[in-house]
Amino acid sequence: MTNDEETPRQSSQSSPFILRRPSIEDGGEMWRVARDSQTLDLNSSYAYLLWARDFAATSVVAEREGRVVGFVSGYVRPDSPGTLMVWQVAVDADQRGHGLAGRMLDHLAQTVPDVTMLETTITDDNEASRALFARFARTRDAQHEEIDLFVESHFPDPGHEPEVLHRIGPF
């Protein structure tokens, strides 16, 4: 792994995408990708700027022709240092169909040191995310547990769907 001042990149001749750590300059584009997804809970642009600064080592952006077209934001759980908690996964609509979300998850699994477990929460109606994380577990021959974590009554805003914890690993 490179030091904090360097930006790890992943590219191949057959792929138009570069996978790398986000920088503060990417925070606004992460916000845009999340907003345009029309499926994610959109946080303030400020939150994405902080995320790009404070959690860059556990997140990834996908760039195509110099433009951010996707991201995965995550963090290592303080009480479980071998666990990467994936907070959001988003890919621009015109870039879907290239397996980019899976490639970004693979990138994080390979580059975040000492991580052997992955967690995320998904609502039951989000079939694309459920399939993405099931595939991630399958390709690693890892256990995949689904546990009710946040039920509707936990949320102060009415109508928020329950969030099911997907725990994958060890891998």
Architecture of the domain spanning 8-72+90-112: 3-Layer(aba) Sandwich (3.40)
Summarize the chain as % helix, strand, coil (round to 5): 35, 30, 35
pTM to 2 decimal places: 0.90
Return the SS3 of 9: strand
Kindly list the domain boundaries of the chain, sorted by start residue: 8-72+90-112, 116-171
Per-residue pLDDT tens digits of the chain, which is 171 residues long? 333 333 444 544 588 999 999 999 999 999 999 999 988 999 999 999 999 999 999 999 999 999 999 999 999 999 999 999 999 999 999 999 999 999 999 999 999 999 999 999 999 999 999 999 999 999 999 999 999 999 999 999 988 999 999 999 999
